Amino acid sequence: MKGWLFTKTNEAPRLIEKEDPKVVPGEVILDIKAAGLCHSDVAALEDPGWMSLITAAPVIFGHECAGIVTEVGDGVTDLKVGDRVGVCPMHPETGAAIGYCRDGGYATKLLVPACQCVKLPEEVSYIQGAAATDAGMTSYHALFVEGQAKAV
């Protein structure tokens, strides 16, 4: 697979080739179809203050992505090969972010926990799905976690 490797602030990511990921229990492999460039990615390229969050550096960057499931690990029951998904950037239990704590979506393939995948309706493009993952998570957190918004 190919991917854009981030090593440190003030150093341009470089295109690398590495072995394709191997599926593990509870996770899936995606062929990435779209990836977004987030302001935090740009900031990390220029501001060393972000390095404390990028615990896996050197790491393939990218936490806004969408793709198609190509392999399913043992124990995964809610996804199948061929499903179109967006990827929630942060693991719901650990808070570990793809592209920061493990390889991310600026690659041709991605190994990701199945619990971070959100199925995309057919009318939602991969580009829309990639853009909605981080923006959706950020908006949800602001409204329902921090703002304590409730249904009326």
Domain assignment present for residue 102? The answer is yes
The amino acid sitting at 145 is V
Q: Count of domains in the chain?
A: 1
pTM, two decimals, is 0.90
CATH number of the domain encompassing residue 11: 3.90.180.10
Domain assignment present for residue 151? The answer is no
Domain assignment present for residue 131? The answer is yes
The amino acid sitting at 85 is V
What is the distance between the alpha carbons of residues 60 and 96, in angstroms, rounded to a whole number? 14
What is the residue range of 42's domain? 2-146
Task: Write the pLDDT tens digit of every residue in 122-147.
Answer: 999 999 999 988 777 777 778 888 89
What is the distance between the alpha carbons of residues 25 and 71, in angstroms, rounded to a whole number? 11
Q: What is the DSSP letter of 143?
A: I
Domain assignment present for residue 93? The answer is yes
Longest Cα pair distance anywhere in the chain, in angstroms? Answer: 51
Domain assignment present for residue 89? The answer is yes
């703002």: which residue's tokens?
147
**Do residues 61 and 4 touch, judged by C-beta distance below 8 A?**
yes
Domain assignment present for residue 152? The answer is no
